[in-house]
Structure 1
Amino acid sequence: MRSKRMSSSEATDSRTDSVVLYGIEDRPPLGEAIPLGIQHVLAMFLGNVAPPLILAGAVGSVTGETTFLVQMALIVAGVATLVQAFPIGPVGARLPIVMGTSFAFLGPLIGIGSEFGLAAVFGTALLAAPVEMVMGVTLDRFRRYFPPLVTGIVVMLIGLTLVPTGMDYAAGASAGPGAEGYGSVLNLGLAGLVLLTTLVLNQFFDGFLRVISVFVGIALGYVVAIALGVVDFSGVAAAGWITVPVPLKYGLSFPPSAVLTMAFLYIVTGMETIGDISGTVSATGRDATKEELRGGLLADGVMSMFGAVFNAMPNTSFSQNVGLVNFTGVASRYVVGIGGVALIVLGFVPKIGAVVSAMPDAVLGGGALILFAMIFSSGARIIVQNVTLDHRNSTILALSIALGLGVSLRPELLANVPGEVQTLFGSALVTGGISALVLNVVLPGGGVGLGPTEHTDGLTPEMPMQIDEEMADTASNDD
């Protein structure tokens, strides 16, 4: 295994389009790897703990259980991340995939929890999770419906739909417009400081300062926020020192209608996982392999079942960390493994987790905006590298993005349809992703059998390199 960092010329070789400084199997020195792993935790922390916080607030039956649910979410995310980076048999992608609690399930689970109780939340998550595992096992048949055009659109939509969340955090209130302090000069200043620091370090410096740019930006913003007296540490004093996991603390129940809703959502998050894996691997200048996609999907399903047993919401790959890999050029799974261990420690020690939780939203928002934008960029890279944007493919790209963003920007469009339809198709990712999937199947000339490792322009990944070499040889002969 290599431990030597790639040179800038190697990282940006035009033949591979790789942007990595550390490859998947590279092991950065421990002094670099630890802060890089913590950087991954910072990128996903609030996104991981926010769903259980919101769920606990919405479902009255778990009043007083908020801290326990948050700690379980951290522990399960850490274990799931380790499984993705270091697979157990076929379960895991062997990639730098960070796992966490999925926002995609939050709205439906609030409805399920309010109507049937928390036992149904975890029961339906447990019973429906094998749907995603089946997606992984049947990948040979399933995969042909997700060529680079479709996966690229899904990745782009993931980034685009996360941008409003990043803006809300940057404005200082994850609850959105109307919240106290939203868009204040102080919050915008903190977010701007983090964003500017991160951007300068990433673009004008080389080496370790570049790859640690997000961490430095967020750390600086946090220190400045403390100096300005806008950090509330009361939660740290109130937090305990140890959390003991209690399996099936709230029991399990399986309302049929709720199970069907969850099953469909697992299909959607499976599409998101395929996009995240593709976006991560694209940073290294290649396409995701069948084994990586299958292992990632299996890990999503298995770890969501594990999470349900330990009172955590379904887990899936975290897109902001895909953006972090593409932004920093650090694709080492060993770095992500350190992040997984850090999540487990945070889960078992609420006092430490409370210190991170006290970070103002605006500080995280400054870094999150860049990461979310980089997710969009990685999706665009998948399409540019693998797809010829002819009339057909350009139509699919444009219409899928338009429909996805349309339902997100104008949710009133679905006001007169049943609530279940609103929940499902009110998501830009669902509407845009399904649109891309269906259009790619029904429009003529698509070659639905193309897999993610095949190019729609008829060239294999090796052919451009061969053509370049032949042209170079011809030029030499001419000379």
Structure 2
Amino acid sequence: MSVDTQPHEDGKAELIEYDIDDEPPLQEAIPLGIQHLLAMFLSTVALPLVIAGAIGLSPGETAFIVQMALLVAGLATIVQVYSIGPIGARLPIVMGTSAIFVAPLIDIGNAFGLAAIFGAVIVAAPVEIVIGYFYDDLRRFFPPLVTGVVVMLVGLTLIPTAIDYSAGGPGAETYGNLENLALAGLVFAAAIGFNQYFDGLLSISSVLIAVVIGYIVAIPLGLLDLSGVAEAGWVAVPMPLEFGVEFHPSAILIAAFAYVVTSMETIGDVEGTTGTVGRQATNDEMRGALYADGFMSMFAGLFNAFPNTSFSQNVGLIGFTGVASKLVVGICGVFLVVLGLIPKVAEVVAAMPNPVLGGAAVVLFGMIFSIGLRIVANRVDLNRRNLTIVAVSVVLGVGVEVRPDAIVQFPEDVQVLLGSGLLVGGVTALVLNAILPGDGRTRQGPTQVEETERSG
């Protein structure tokens, strides 16, 4: 166990319960790994469900794709944590289905079918591998100013999802019921309370404890439905190219562009992860993370799953709990593999009511924004030029998310691209940083406030 209360190079003191290479005892590591699983499970299951529903897959096809999403997420997480040669960052990064690809893959599926989706996923994946290979040359385009803005936008654009699920889930008949909001509020309050008012395992497992409390309280409220458990099978066998594969140039182009955006998200997540332990990511860690994204997304396409990327909510969980141990995240990967092979177990977890997950998501998604804000505040000279880039990028990124009708006059394919706040805001930060005079340089020393805190 590593408890660091000394100021780091950026002048910021940080409390870390377990550092990256620390190994908590299994009685702590296992529940902490489950906590990571619960933090990302909703997205890992919901995103394939959204895509499958939008392109009209049958219930059997949908269930199979969800199981493969869990299996591939687990394998990709293990590769990212422990690496295979240069593939993997060797950092506590949880992998799962990328939200960036949801709208593009729906468009591809509706235009060309499911086989074309997997063809585009496989063929376009090397884009991210190439970005990783040339990261030394490209890294100047991704300074802390740009990556910090991307991390902030990830958190900001996830906020509507957290609120929707807190209210009962998108499209739910009971959306906004006081019962839903009260349950979400209970989970939120429990997570904050255990994290701030308790020490040791009770503090670092605060989100898991809050979710369990919410799960139990949901039973007498009639919000827990376990009917799917009896209907689910015991074993799901992975079958490569179960739905075939097709290749269409326009589909590949759309997917390739999405991989570029996902690279920016991964770069931001790696910076956020290492930022929790008070240091910047190395070039090898960045390259390994991008390689893992690319190769494991290609693997996902072969095994009937959608592209995988780093999960930002788990970066938020690391910052919230102070637990950055690779062992904990590796355990999460193992659980994902198990869930991908045993549908009944997955159904039990999937039965968790939306308000319970929403209450936890409010905390975690907010922490993602806070981590991005810390990257910018601690590592960037906040002069007029850099503040302008942050302001314009965030306003445009959030603006297209909350006012999508503003771009309805564009062609449909362009609307898909411009409707992504992460894409619009991230590209804006990237372009402005490249063309405006000066640079998004890292601060060379502590600010006057930090110097005062250090001397005090």
Q: TM-score, normalised by structure 1?
A: 0.91
Give the distance between the partners of 1:47 and 1:229, measured in 2 at CA: 24
Give the distance between the partners of 2:378 and 2:172, measured in 1 at CA: 42
Match in the other structure for 1:78: 74
SS at match of 2:281: coil
Amino acid in the other structure paired with 1:47: S
Give the distance between the partners of 2:67 and 2:113, measured in 1 at CA: 20
Give the distance between the partners of 1:381 and 1:267, measured in 2 at CA: 24
Amino acid in the other structure paired with 1:115: A
Structure 2 counterpart of 1:252, from 245, 256, 272:
245
- 2:297·2:307 contact (CA, 8 Å) conserved in 1? yes
Amino acid in the other structure paired with 2:307: P
Amino acid in the other structure paired with 2:250: S
Q: TM-score, normalised by structure 2?
A: 0.96
1:439 aligns with 2:442: no
Q: 1:393 to 1:15 in 2, by over 3 A?
A: closer
Amino acid in the other structure paired with 2:241: L
Q: Deviations over 1:417-464 (max 9, x none)?
A: 1111111111110110011011111110116xx6xxxx2x344xxx89
SS at match of 1:227: coil
SS at match of 2:39: helix
Give the distance between the partners of 1:414 and 1:98, measured in 2 at CA: 34
Amino acid in the other structure paired with 1:189: A
Give the distance between the partners of 1:293 and 1:441, measured in 2 at CA: 20
Q: 1:14 to 1:137 in 2, by over 3 A?
A: closer
Match in the other structure for 2:342: 349
Amino acid in the other structure paired with 2:334: V
Consecutive unaligned residues in structure 2, runs of 5 or more:
none
Give the distance between the partners of 2:258 and 2:390, measured in 1 at CA: 23
SS at match of 2:309: strand
Match in the other structure for 2:374: 381
Match in the other structure for 2:3: 6
- 1:18·1:282 contact (CA, 8 Å) conserved in 2? no
- 1:133·1:301 contact (CA, 8 Å) conserved in 2? yes
Q: Could you tell which deviates more after superposition, 267-276 or 223-232?
A: 223-232
Q: Deviations over 1:200-253 (max 9, x none)?
A: 111111111110000000010001112322211100111111110001101111
Amino acid in the other structure paired with 1:112: I
- 2:3·2:15 contact (CA, 8 Å) conserved in 1? no
Q: 1:137 to 1:221 in 2, by over 3 A?
A: same
Amino acid in the other structure paired with 2:367: M
1:23 aligns with 2:19: yes
Percent of pairs identical after alignment? 57
Please tell me the root mean square deviation across aligned C-alpha atoms, in Å: 2.0
Match in the other structure for 1:38: 34
Give the distance between the partners of 1:61 and 1:373, measured in 2 at CA: 34
Give the distance between the partners of 1:278 and 1:18, measured in 2 at CA: 16
Q: Deviations over 1:19-70 (max 9, x none)?
A: 4210000001100000000000000001001121122222235452111111
1:133 aligns with 2:129: yes
- 2:195·2:202 contact (CA, 8 Å) conserved in 1? yes
Q: 1:234 to 1:413 in 2, by over 3 A?
A: same
Which structure 2 residues correspond to residues 54-69 of structure 1 after superposition, within 5 A? 54-69=50-65
- 1:11·1:19 contact (CA, 8 Å) conserved in 2? no
Match in the other structure for 2:90: 94
- 2:68·2:305 contact (CA, 8 Å) conserved in 1? yes
Match in the other structure for 1:371: 364
Which structure 2 residues correspond to residues 297-336 of structure 1 after superposition, within 5 A? 297-336=290-329
Q: How many residues align?
A: 454
1:189 aligns with 2:186: no
- How far has the Cα of 1:117 moved from its partner? 1.2
Amino acid in the other structure paired with 1:339: C
Give the distance between the partners of 2:141 and 2:86, measured in 1 at CA: 22
SS at match of 1:60: coil
Q: Deviations over 1:350-388 (max 9, x none)?
A: 000000000001001101110000000000110111111
Q: Deviations over 1:91-111 (max 9, x none)?
A: 001001000001111111112
- How far has the Cα of 1:193 moved from its partner? 0.6
- 1:19·1:326 contact (CA, 8 Å) conserved in 2? no
1:117 aligns with 2:110: no
- How far has the Cα of 1:278 moved from its partner? 0.6
Q: Deviations over 1:280-325 (max 9, x none)?
A: 1111011111111110000000000000010000000111101100
Match in the other structure for 2:225: 232
- 1:12·1:19 contact (CA, 8 Å) conserved in 2? no
Give the distance between the partners of 1:11 and 1:288, measured in 2 at CA: 18
- 1:131·1:301 contact (CA, 8 Å) conserved in 2? yes
Match in the other structure for 1:166: 162
Amino acid in the other structure paired with 1:436: A
Amino acid in the other structure paired with 2:328: V
SS at match of 2:316: helix
- 1:404·1:433 contact (CA, 8 Å) conserved in 2? yes
Amino acid in the other structure paired with 2:68: M
Match in the other structure for 2:274: 281
Amino acid in the other structure paired with 1:92: G
Consecutive unaligned residues in structure 1, runs of 5 or more:
none
- 2:97·2:306 contact (CA, 8 Å) conserved in 1? yes
Match in the other structure for 1:406: 399
Q: Deviations over 1:172-212 (max 9, x none)?
A: 11x2xx53111111111110110000001111111111100
Q: 1:10 to 1:36 in 2, by over 3 A?
A: farther
- How far has the Cα of 1:18 moved from its partner? 2.9
Give the distance between the partners of 1:241 and 1:12, measured in 2 at CA: 49
- How far has the Cα of 1:409 moved from its partner? 1.2
Give the distance between the partners of 1:61 and 1:400, measured in 2 at CA: 37
